[in-house]
Amino acid sequence: MAPAIAIKDLSKTYETGFEALKRVNLDIERGELFALLGPNGAGKTTLISIVCGLIKATGGTVKVEGHDIVTDYRAARSLIGLVPQELTTEAFETVRATVSFSRGLFGLKKDPAHVENVLRQLSLWDKRDNKIITLSGGMKRRVLIAKALAHEPRVLFLDEPTAGVDVELRRDMWEIVRGLRESGVTIILTTHYIEEAEEMADRVGVINNGEIILVEEKSELMQKLGRKRLILQLGSTISAIPDGLASYDLELSGQGDELVYTYDTHGGRTGITNLMNDLRDSGLRLKDLQTKQDSLEKIFVDLVHKD
Amino acid sequence: MNYRAILAIYQFEMNRTKRTIFQSVVSPVISTALYFVVFGAAIGSQISEVEGISYGAFIVPGLTMLSILTQSISNASFGIYFPRFTGTIYEVMSAPVSFIEIVIGYVGAAATKAVLVGSIILITATFFVDLRIEHPVWMVAFLLLTAITFSLFGFIIGIWSANFEQLQFVPLLVVTPLAFLGGSFYSINMLPEFWQKVTLLNPAVYLISGFRWSFYGQADVNVLLSFGMTFVFLGICLVLIRRIFKSGYRLRA
């Protein structure tokens, strides 16, 4: 069975000469939830836009469930739903009209029952006759999802669906996405949020400078992500780490007034309690402390830079 | 052929007309009615007949054509420019819809609106002047052909425009002057011989002359030439649109 999305040697160079994608290869399996991560300008949206037919590739091929997006574009596009990053909605249309319009665009006959089902699923049914201009940002985001689901797609692209969305709504979105995935829809989502990938993705891909630099199962990724840093601000400067603390994964930084302890949050014991005890025994006085966790994006960009 | 998509785009555009009924339909009708009052009833009563037709009746085909031209262009150009401006065009471009289907949907709706406005203007005119239509089939043919041709032209302008200023540029500074100078308010035979020849370079002359012939059986230029020139312009628009869609110009980077 052909994968949901098969991308082979995909390249895109814009007229300005900017090389947005450099021979990208990526397969996304049917039914999986794939999170695509990368910094701004990495090529995420370009990649999605090519698959969805919004941008022309310079080289390479893309197939959606075996259908080429250029030579067999009708079959390929009819399988895809796209939720764009920007809140681009028709201001003066009603919610129900705009969702019905989307269904018509994909060549499907009117199905008020399906439209009602989608609107109810997204808690939009009460707003069905409201003009989109009167809705909040979060509701507009839901309308975009409803439009993308109007034609019952088998592959759904969510381009940063929770960008600028409050925590509660983000949780709602996760529930919606989870429900879709359970119904068998293949989902490709781009995000900046580590919790999002952690919460939902089966696999995670990282794109940077137009190249896919890593594709991993989430479980493997979490091991790398599980590492956190405890930053200990000392009351005075020291020239070296005291012998009593040599067994810890510590690094002296700042002006010699900062100790950084790296630990694994997924491990049963983080060693923090022992470290604190040994710090006291070493006679070091603490001024402040904080913990830091790198974003998924930063971790992988850092990895690339190391290469 | 994705007929449902064509219908969806067409209905979407027609709904926009319903929402903006004043701007889309009432406003052009009122302004044209004012022309009839001023040029037909007030000034027209002081002007002798033109080629055996009362001045008020003489200007009806030209005024209707003027409205058809401006309405076709503004409806079609705005129809495609606005989704480009707001970004909602993404949905059409990512749907299983061919370029021909997109054009039929948008241009079909724009032409329908223009014909609607043109028809209402003709009906309005009957309240002011004594109107007769000698060749109704040709009249309808000219009406439809002009509406479709200039809606295609408007569609091209809507894709070409990078901002609202450019969107207004061609309709205001090119089309309206050409229509005014193309014999909307006078017969080109009234001009000095030199300007009669210069005027023949104006494509609006052929449209207005042919349309007027379908009403009163009198034309400034041969009616077949009028019809042929409209087809030539239609052909140019179709070639341009084909090139736009093949290259993805301003629609697909």
Per-residue pLDDT of A102-143, as tens digits, reads 999 999 999 999 999 999 988 889 999 999 999 988 888 889
Residue boundaries of the structural domains of chain A:
5-223, 227-306
Cα(B231)–Cα(B244) distance, integer angstroms: 20
pLDDT digits (tens, 9 = 90+) for A233-257: 998 888 888 888 888 888 888 888 8
- Give the model's pLDDT for residue A302: 64
Q: Is B153's pLDDT higher than 90?
A: yes
Interface of B with A (CB under 8 A): 2-5, 7-9, 11-12, 15-16, 19, 86-88, 90-98, 248, 252-253
The reply to whether A59 touches chain B by the CB within 8 Å rule is no
Cα(A106)–Cα(B5) distance, integer angstroms: 6
Q: What are phi and psi of B213, to 5 degrees?
A: -60, -40
Higher per-residue confidence, A223 vs A241: A241
- Quick check: B96 and A77 CB within 8 A? yes
Q: Does domain A5-223 have CATH number 3.40.50.300?
A: yes
Q: At CB < 8 A and 24+ separation, what contacts does A74-78 make?
A: A74/B2, A74/B96, A74/B98, A75/B96, A76/B96, A77/A52, A77/A53, A77/A106, A77/B94, A77/B95, A77/B96, A78/A106, A78/A107, A78/A151, A78/B96
How confident is residue A55, by pLDDT bands cut at 50, 70 and 90? very high
- Quick check: A104 and B248 CB within 8 A? no
- Give the model's pLDDT for residue A300: 62
Task: Give residues with Cβ within 8 angstroms of A15, minimum separation 6.
Answer: B253
How confident is residue A226, by pLDDT bands cut at 50, 70 and 90? low
Q: Is A295's pLDDT higher than 70?
A: no
- What is the average pLDDT across A212-240? 82
How confident is residue A223, by pLDDT bands cut at 50, 70 and 90? low
β-strand A80-83 against A227-234: which pairing, if any? Answer: unpaired
Q: Looking at chain A, which residue has its C-alpha nearest residue B3?
A: A107
- What is the average pLDDT across B142-169? 91
How confident is residue B131, by pLDDT bands cut at 50, 70 and 90? confident
Cα(B154)–Cα(B73) distance, integer angstroms: 4
- Give the model's pLDDT for residue A245: 87
**How far is residue B119 from each of residues B19, B27, B61, B83, B147, measured CA to CA in Å?**
20, 14, 11, 28, 12
pLDDT digits (tens, 9 = 90+) for A171-190: 878 888 888 889 899 999 98
- Give the model's pLDDT for residue B96: 95
- Give the model's pLDDT for residue A263: 84
How confident is residue A197, by pLDDT bands cut at 50, 70 and 90? confident
Tell me the chain B residues in contact with residue A74 when contact means C-beta distances shorter than 8 Å.
2, 96, 98
Higher per-residue confidence, B48 vs A23: A23
Q: Is A32's pLDDT higher than 90?
A: yes
Higher per-residue confidence, B180 vs A81: A81
Among the ranges given (A110-119, A260-269, B99-108, B172-181), the one the predictor scored with the smallest mean pLDDT: A260-269
Tell me the chain A residues in contact with residue B6 when contact means C-beta distances shorter than 8 Å.
none
DSSP category for residue A235: S
The owner of tokens 């991560």 is A37
Q: Looking at chain B, which residue has its C-alpha nearest residue A84?
A: B90
Cα(B136)–Cα(B214) distance, integer angstroms: 7
Among the ranges given (A193-202, B167-176, B194-203), the one the predictor scored with the smallest mean pLDDT: A193-202
- Give the model's pLDDT for residue A222: 67
Q: Among residues A1, A51, A66, which one has the least CA distance to residue A21?
A: A51
Contact criterion met (CB below 8 Å) for B253 and A55: yes
- Give the model's pLDDT for residue A249: 85
- What is the average pLDDT across A244-272? 84
- Measured between CB atoms, which of B4, B86, B87 is closest to A107? B4
Cα(A204)–Cα(A198) distance, integer angstroms: 9
Q: Is A304's pLDDT higher than 60?
A: no
Higher per-residue confidence, A12 vs A38: A12
The owner of tokens 């080429």 is A68
Kindly write down the DSSP assignment for every residue of B72-127, as one continuous string: HHHHHHHHHHHHHHHSTHHHHHTSS--HHHHHHHHHHHHHHHHHHHHHHHHHHHTT
What is the number of other CB atoms lying within 10 angstroms of the CB of residue A29?
13
Selecting from 1.20.950, 1.20.58, 3.40.50, 3.30.70, what CATH number does the domain A227-306 have? 3.30.70
- Give the model's pLDDT for residue A71: 93
Interior CA angle at B99 toward A161 and B239, to 5°? Answer: 140
- What is the average pLDDT across A63-77? 94
Q: Is A148's pLDDT higher than 90?
A: yes
- Measured between CB atoms, which of A77, A84, A93 is closest to B95? A77
How confident is residue B245, by pLDDT bands cut at 50, 70 and 90? confident
Mean pLDDT of chain B: 87
Higher per-residue confidence, B189 vs B66: B66
ipTM reported for the complex, 2 dp? 0.84
The reply to whether A105 touches chain B by the CB within 8 Å rule is yes
Contact criterion met (CB below 8 Å) for B110 and B149: no
Q: Is A203's pLDDT higher than 80?
A: yes
The reply to whether A70 touches chain B by the CB within 8 Å rule is no
- Measured between CB atoms, which of B12, B16, B93 is closest to A53? B93
Question: Which stretch of DSSP H or E encloses residue A97?
Answer: helix A95-105
Q: Which of residues 267-306 of A touch B (CB under 8 A)?
A: none
- Measured between CB atoms, which of A84, A101, A105 is closest to B97? A105
How confident is residue A40, by pLDDT bands cut at 50, 70 and 90? confident
Interface test with B, best of A14, A105, A106 (most B CBs within 10 A): A105
- What is the average pLDDT across A211-229? 78
- Give the model's pLDDT for residue A303: 58
The reply to whether A122 touches chain B by the CB within 8 Å rule is no
**How far is residue B76 from each of residues A90, A247, B113, B125, measured CA to CA in Å?**
17, 74, 10, 25
The reply to whether A104 touches chain B by the CB within 8 Å rule is yes
- Quick check: A104 and B87 CB within 8 A? no
DSSP category for residue A126: G
